Structure 1
Amino acid sequence: MNDLVSVIMPSYNTGQYIAESIRSVLSQTYENWELLIVDDCSSDDTDAVVERIEDRRIRYLKNAENSGGAASRNRALREAKGRWIAFLDSDDLWLPEKLERQIRFMEKNRYRFSYTAYEEIDAAGKRTGVRVKGPKRITQRGMYNYCWPGCLTVMYDAERIGLIQVADRLKNDDYAMWLKVSRKEDCHLLEECLARYRRGRLGSVSSRGFMTKIGWHYKLFREEEQENPIHALANTGRNMLWGCYKKIRYVEKLEDLEKITQ
């Protein structure tokens, strides 16, 4: 329980939210971490916000030109020094015991790839009562069915998995990473709600249209996974079907917000 955790955080025009995201890392009960923030040429006040936060464990890197979220994550992964790799976007949040509980879960069970449940908040940070989880165990085939893990909840063992890189201009780059990791290890669910996902922020992935997301999925299977057009289209359709199943089986709307963390 003392190995270094490298936290991967791409940023682009999230000056309004990034300080809160960083504070959720600073508040972790597990303190042996490094936070690698890679800014993708933000045009807002992200620079000023980050520079006001002083902690030797934070490394702030800037892309020379706007390159996209995949390129930012790739760069952070190349710079990472930790055994454990964790992900947090610059508008999302962790609960204070997220790292400690997840590492303990993985070490106890000898898991090398895991994710947790999370809850949704709106653009203003208000809790919506929506809790999201997924299958207890995701095999490689299961990961091809759908991108079950929320990016902000994933952790893997870099000593076992190695360096993961995807196409720099790829959308759905988090899904592309999980597909690569799942070839080496199954992904296991820690069924505790330890993170908060901000939905509906202008410009975020969750605000994109349905047809746009379908195009991203097809490109992922066709170009990154190098499948022929028929297989890429079939996998895209399969993803849509399993996405409907996830909403029915694994997305809960709770009236009592305090039950979400249980």
Structure 2
Amino acid sequence: MPEVSIITPCYNSGKFLDETIQSVLTQNFTDWEWLITDDCSSDDSVEIIKKINDPRIVLTVAKENGGAGHARNLSLEKASGKYITFLDADDFWEPNFLKEMIAFMKKEKAEIAYSNYARCDENLNPKIADFNADKEVTFNNLLKTCRLSLLSSMYDSERVGKEFFPAGSKREDHVMWLNLLKKIPVGKPLNKTMAKYRMHSSSISRKKTNIMKDQYLVYKDYMHFSTLKSWYYTINWALNGFMKYSKMFN
């Protein structure tokens, strides 16, 4: 059984896959399995992945397109590692990501941990300031802003169990983290930059238009809060999000 399971959804990511693959293969911690689910890509993503000659990599091709959360769940069902971590098919880890995260979790006896990550353009050049893991994460403070990013976070599945992504939510990562933090008191921050997140122009545009409604439903439909309480947290989330990304619009 591997120490860590890496969960990756893939959809038409052929343009970036080579860099993502190399960032995993060059990790200086090697006791991992990489579970990749392709979500019915129409580009050459599957062919790129199949060319990798490494028995630690397991590719699943979904029967139908179900979105990133569904693809992650298909991989999670097969995951056998003590630690669970996530890497989208267009993101990037520094070579010491796995080693330092696992060592930090063991030292701190943490059930969830997260690190800094660089916020980059599509060529992995810095776009705005790094996101800093400078605060402990609890259920209550995660309601107002999602400080846990999939590409720079890890949790101990032996201690907290696997947590699957909810069907139907466009903010499935936030819901998943909130459900995990219902089980534990705190997630620990490792204030060191060890990952790179690609900020695509299309995702930025979506955040400015449709995401408020999706975030409201996180509280109303998945946390089962009242309408007033759901709007309270949605407004707080929006204000915190503006501060988080405000340099983008300067």
Instruction: Return the TM-score normalized by structure 1.
Output: 0.88
Shift of residue 215 of structure 1? 1.6
Residue 90 of structure 2 aligns with an amino acid whose one-letter code is D
> Counterparts of 2:57 and 2:17 in 1: how far apart (Å)?
13
* C-alpha contact 2:134 2:191 (8 A) present in aligned 1: no
Shift of residue 169 of structure 1? 2.7
Identity of aligned residues (%): 32
Who is 1:194 aligned against? 194
Residue 212 of structure 1 aligns with an amino acid whose one-letter code is N
Who is 1:77 aligned against? 76
What is the RMSD of the two structures over their aligned residues, measured on CA atoms?
2.0
How has the CA–CA distance of structure 1 residues 244 and 135 changed in structure 2, closer, same or farther, with 3 Å as cutoff? farther
| Secondary structure of residue in 2 paired with 1:171 | coil
> Counterparts of 1:62 and 1:16 in 2: how far apart (Å)?
18
Of 207, 210, 214, the match for 2:208: 210
Who is 1:243 aligned against? 241
Structure 1's unaligned 5+ residue stretches are 253-262
> Counterparts of 1:225 and 1:166 in 2: how far apart (Å)?
14
Structure 2's unaligned 5+ residue stretches are none
Moved more, 118-127 or 186-195: 118-127
Residues 82-130 of structure 1, C-alpha deviation per residue, up to 9 Å, x if partnerless? 0000011100000000010111111011111010001122112323362
> Counterparts of 1:22 and 1:169 in 2: how far apart (Å)?
29
Who is 1:255 aligned against? none
| Secondary structure of residue in 2 paired with 1:138 | coil
* C-alpha contact 2:92 2:197 (8 A) present in aligned 1: yes
| Secondary structure of residue in 1 paired with 2:90 | coil
Shift of residue 45 of structure 1? 0.9
Who is 2:220 aligned against? 222
Q: How does 1:140-219 map to 2 (within 5 A)?
A: 140-185=139-184, 186-200=186-200, 202=202, 205-219=203-217
How has the CA–CA distance of structure 1 residues 219 and 43 changed in structure 2, closer, same or farther, with 3 Å as cutoff? same
| Secondary structure of residue in 1 paired with 2:14 | coil
Shift of residue 134 of structure 1? 3.7
Shift of residue 209 of structure 1? 3.7
Instruction: Return the TM-score normalized by structure 2.
Output: 0.92
